Amino acid sequence: MIALAILLPWLSLMIGGHFFRGILCLALQITIVGWIPASVWAVLVVNADRRDQQYRQMLRILHGR
């Protein structure tokens, strides 16, 4: 998913369920200068989503579900 976030940042955000962010990222990515900030933004969002998923899983394990 990180590779997708670097190559096609808007698509990685859309797949992750962040539709409005994906549209904004696509608008930013259209400019060549905006590609790098869009990629960094997408990588940060993907990592945050992965971390949140790990936290939810850890809480489920701790609560015995």
pLDDT at 65: 67
Tell me if 28 sits within 8 A of 38, measured CB to CB. yes
Structure tokens at 63: 């609560």
First vs last C-alpha separation in the chain: 28
Return the residue matching tokens 């015995």.
64
Confidence class for position 4, pLDDT limits 50, 70, 90:
confident
pLDDT at 35: 85
Tally the domains of the chain: 1
Amino acid at 35: W
Domain encompassing residue 45: 2-63
pLDDT tens, position by position, 6-63: 888 989 999 989 999 999 999 988 887 888 899 999 999 999 999 999 999 999 999 9
pLDDT at 49: 93
pLDDT at 44: 94
